Structure 1
């Protein structure tokens, strides 16, 4: 089952994000469940990270919640809010279910 994790950073926490980023990336890669991920950006000519969006594969909501809770960003207190929603892929060349 797939889940989208949307996490909004606390205001004025860009330095925390940048400090923890290597640990966050290592964690996400080591868990082997991330299908697609990247930062949410601010609007404007010079966009800055303001949150995270991850699509993960997990056996159930509890596993998705556990993955999100163990993220180094979450443990560092970066996020003001985290939303986890079940999701089903439908379109895109990257589709995890697409077989050649």
Structure 2
């Protein structure tokens, strides 16, 4: 099943984000096919990252939570909130999905 994950950064979280970004990007790459899409939310002017959107594949919500807990951003305390919702890909789905 797919899960949409909406992460909101803590106020003034940019130093945490910057310090952990290389490890986070490696974590995303290491996830392989279970990571369907990922990218940051941006401030209104597009200059600062304020959170993250991920779509991950997992057997169930427990597996999704366990996987997401290993994100270097989560381990560093970057997020003030994480919302995980079951999700169905309808439009724009890649051929291999």
Calculate the TM-score normalised by the size of structure 2. 0.92
Unmatched segments (≥5 aa) in structure 2: none
Give the aligned length.
96
Alignment of 1:60-75 (within 5 A): 60-75=60-75
Matched residues in 2 for 1:93 and 1:24: separation?
25
Range with bigger deviation, 87-96 or 75-84? 87-96
Moved over 3 A (4+): none
Distance 2:95 2:74 in 1: 27
Distance 1:7 1:14 in 2: 14
Show the 5 A alignment for 1:8-87. 8-32=8-32, 33-44=34-45, 46-87=46-87
Larger CA Rg, structure 1 vs 2:
1
- For residue 4 of structure 1, what is the aligned residue in structure 2? 4
CA drift at 1:95: 5.6
State the Cα distance separating 1:60 from its structure 2 match: 0.9
Judge conservation of contact 1:89–1:95 (CA < 8 Å) in 2: no
